[in-house]
Amino acid sequence: MIITPKIRGFICTTAHPDGCAKHVAEQIAVVKKRGLMANGPRKVLVIGSSTGYGLSSRIAAAFGANAATVGVFFEKPGEADRCGTAGWYNSAAFEKEAKSAGLYARSFNGDAFSDAVKAEVIAAIKADLGQVDCVIYSLASPRRTHPTTGEVFKSVLKPIGQVYTNKNLNTTTGVVSDISIEPASGDDVAQTVAVMGGEDWAMWIDALLAAGVLADGVQTVSYSYIGPEVTWPIYKNGTIGLAKEDLERTQRELDVRLAPIKGKAWVSVNKALVTQASSAIPVVPLYISLLYKVMKEAGTHEDTIEQMDRLFRDRLYSGQPQPDEAGRIRVDDWEMTPEVQKLVGQRWTEVNTENLGQLADFEGYQSSFLRLFGFGLNGVNYAAEADPSVGVMSI
């Protein structure tokens, strides 16, 4: 099958298996170039391991520390005549690379919010690894079925209290225009907190603890975002931001529950980057395009793999996590420097459809987006037949 990108708004409905494999290989190469970290994690569970920050976390742990990894994700396998999702192909490629490097890797494709998947993963950890010493929680989902009540929650990206109007980028056409987003109503906040807040992270940690599969000194990390004031109404102070506040509350609770085994829970605030999840947030893609331009010019741009490698190498496993005043790890530190923010802020006021090409890295945004689905990678022959029915070895 010849596979080409089919983009609908902020979604690409096709993915290229060879391109995704190349994307994974490039991430592995970034980590390998930096060498093995001294006291890295040994056995790592990554929940949400197939794309974005979770995939890069899995790669950083495996190839930066020779860690055994267990990955959990919710992806669609390909068939002979139909594409699977990028996360499926990424996971297939990851396992292949891990196996040829002699590293343990096992994956689970299912609903991480369910009790059944938790039980299956715990049984596998018990049987194969005994315990894990690091748990990464990197789920991003629009909905969650509660495991005990069966209620289906839907997360929304809305401001709170009043309509938010700001500039927005149509990432297909490059048109910059104002967008107005209606504020949350009804139980929007509670629904979003139920999906993207800390309850499921705590359920995972409680289940792992109760099963005795968390090693002494375990570290668990969940990811958050803060960003600049211009995006606060839709992010930090919006429905998603309240879910992230809940995550921070959960982190403090988990610290207490993990204390008897000298464990530690963290929230790591990461940089704004193009991922499947972030491309769905209004306003944020314009900010990311402006940010990429400034950070690339300053030589401080990182993608998810550089971010996650730095998180593991320089913070979690360096003995110097450098938490901020609220106890969070900040690998968004380079994004949030005053120089970067001043320039992005200036350009934010000036940017329009006509000068987008000069002020922002729209090309970089679009190519990063396509790369998420395995398109536009060097060395991949996109005119050749590709086999969409690639399997993930351990599934």
- The residues of the shown chain that bind ligand NAD, judged by CB under 6 A, are 48-54, 72-75, 87, 111-113, 138-141, 223-225, 270, 272-273, 275-278
Residue 152: other Cβ atoms inside 10 A? 12
Task: Please say which residue, 138 or 166, places its beta carbon nearer to ligand NAD.
Answer: 138
Provide the token pair at 299: 């030589």
CA distance linking residue 174 with residue 219, whole number of Å: 42
Q: Confirm whether 164 is a catalytic residue.
A: no
Task: Please say which residue, 14 or 224, places its beta carbon nearer to ligand NAD.
Answer: 224
Determine how β-strand 176-181 pairs with β-strand 214-224: unpaired
Contacts of 262 (CB under 8 A, 6+ apart): 216, 217
CA distance linking residue 375 with residue 356, whole number of Å: 23
Residue 267: other Cβ atoms inside 10 A? 25
Least gap, CB of 36 to ligand NAD (angstroms): 24
Task: Please say which residue, 59 or 215, places its beta carbon nearer to ligand NAD.
Answer: 59
Least gap, CB of 25 to ligand NAD (angstroms): 18
Least gap, CB of 50 to ligand NAD (angstroms): 4
Instruction: For residue 237, give the amino acid letter.
Output: N
Least gap, CB of 223 to ligand NAD (angstroms): 3
Least gap, CB of 72 to ligand NAD (angstroms): 6
Of these residues, 89, 235, 287, 317, which one is catalytic?
235
Instruction: For residue 201, give the amino acid letter.
Output: W
Instruction: For residue 151, give the amino acid letter.
Output: E
Determine how β-strand 7-8 pairs with β-strand 176-181: unpaired
Least gap, CB of 5 to ligand NAD (angstroms): 17
Residue 22: other Cβ atoms inside 10 A? 19
Task: Please say which residue, 215 or 293, places its beta carbon nearer to ligand NAD.
Answer: 293
- In degrees and rounded to multiples of 5, residue 29 shows phi and psi of -65, -40
Provide the token pair at 6: 């089919």
CA distance linking residue 208 with residue 219, whole number of Å: 13
Task: Please say which residue, 153 or 225, places its beta carbon nearer to ligand NAD.
Answer: 225
- Cα distances (angstroms) measured from residue 98 to each of 23, 68, 73, 268, 378: 15, 9, 17, 26, 22
Task: Please say which residue, 215 or 251, places its beta carbon nearer to ligand NAD.
Answer: 251
The residues carrying an active-site annotation are: 235
